[in-house]
Amino acid sequence: MTKSRSCIALVAHDNKKAELVEWVEQHHDILSDFELCATGTTGALVETELGLPVRKFESGPLGGDQQIGARIAEGEIDFLVFFWDPLAPHPHDPDVKALLRIAVVWNIPFACNRASADFMIASTLMSNTYQRKLPDLDSYRQRLKT
């Protein structure tokens, strides 16, 4: 599959949604050059409040985190911005951990708060075609066969 634009996934816990929308608004010009996708409620907020087109998945607790994780594994998502709330309990915490784990496995840059998102969006790598190094998983796959 050849993509014309890189895809950025946007995710935010309830207490962080307003902050993420504000961050997207601050970086509207840059983000409008990317394909955006998001979990359901977050995507709807970005679309409604900022007018940016967003491919929406399910809400996080209904499987949206896992849908985004699957797209990362399939090579469809290049960058994850996930403003998560470490001070609130989340019934779908295993899904959140799985999403962050899959981002690391597939060497996807991810920002987990506004500071890291600001640093990443300001990187010169955002305006160039970045060839991320894919992990060599052949040895892992071979172990599964034995």
- What are the extents of the domains in the chain? 7-145
Q: Which one of the listed residues 65, 78, 93, 136 is annotated catalytic?
A: 65
Q: What's residue 25's pLDDT?
A: 98
Q: In what order do the strands lie in the sheet with 35-38?
A: 55-56, 35-38, 7-12, 79-83, 110-111
Has 138 been annotated as catalytic? no
Instruction: Specify the residue for token string 């409008």.
Output: 32
Which residues share a beta bridge with 10? 38, 81
The length of the chain in residues reads: 146
Joined tokens for residue 87? 């001070």
d(CA 92, CA 110): 19
Amino acid at 87: L
Phi, psi of 9 (to 5 degrees): -95, 135
Query: Check: CATH 3.40.50.1380 for 7-145?
Result: yes
- Residue 4: what pLDDT? 57
Q: Quote the pLDDT of residue 1.
A: 35
**CA 107, 20, 32 angle in degrees (round to 5)?**
75
Q: What backbone phi and psi angles, to 5 degrees, belong to 11?
A: -140, 140
Percent of the chain whose pLDDT exceeds 90 = 72
Encode pLDDT of 24-34 as tens digits: 999 999 999 99
Structure tokens at 66: 């896992």
